[in-house]
Amino acid sequence: MAITVSELLNGVASRLIYEGSPCDSHPCWNEGKCMLNGSSNYFCECPPAFIGLQCEYRLFEICRSVRCRTSPSPICDIGSFFANCSLVNQQ
């Protein structure tokens, strides 16, 4: 998709110039792996100790503010975090 000099001078160059992958900007944090989901979308495959859209949250830090339904203590089982725990406000 080349843009001509004429298009640039006339202000008609509203087309996308960069045609790379969304993973080229390395959007995943904490050694997460960027995986393409179609041509313009991605998701991050996070290492075991991290969660979030971009692996930006350390699971241990989130567990400190979590109460598990299976236990009265605020300690969560990392292997079943989403199944057994829910975020609560710490008082």
For the residues of 66-87, what is the DSSP string, one character each? EEETT-SSS---GGGHHHHEEE
**Length of the chain in residues, anyone?**
91
Domain that holds residue 38: 21-55
> ∠ CA(80), CA(85), CA(91), 5° rounding?
145
10 assigned to some structural domain: no
* Whether 74 contacts 55, CB under 8 Å: no
pTM: 0.52
14 assigned to some structural domain: no
1 assigned to some structural domain: no
Residues 50 and 71 grouped into a single domain = no
CATH code of the domain in which 26 resides: 2.10.25.10
Number of domains the chain contains:
2
The pair of three-digit structure tokens given for residue 5, joined into one six-digit string: 């000099």
Q: Which pLDDT tens digits describe the chain residue by residue (91 residues)?
A: 566 666 656 665 455 556 788 899 999 999 999 999 887 899 999 998 888 899 988 876 666 555 555 555 544 544 444 444 544 433 3
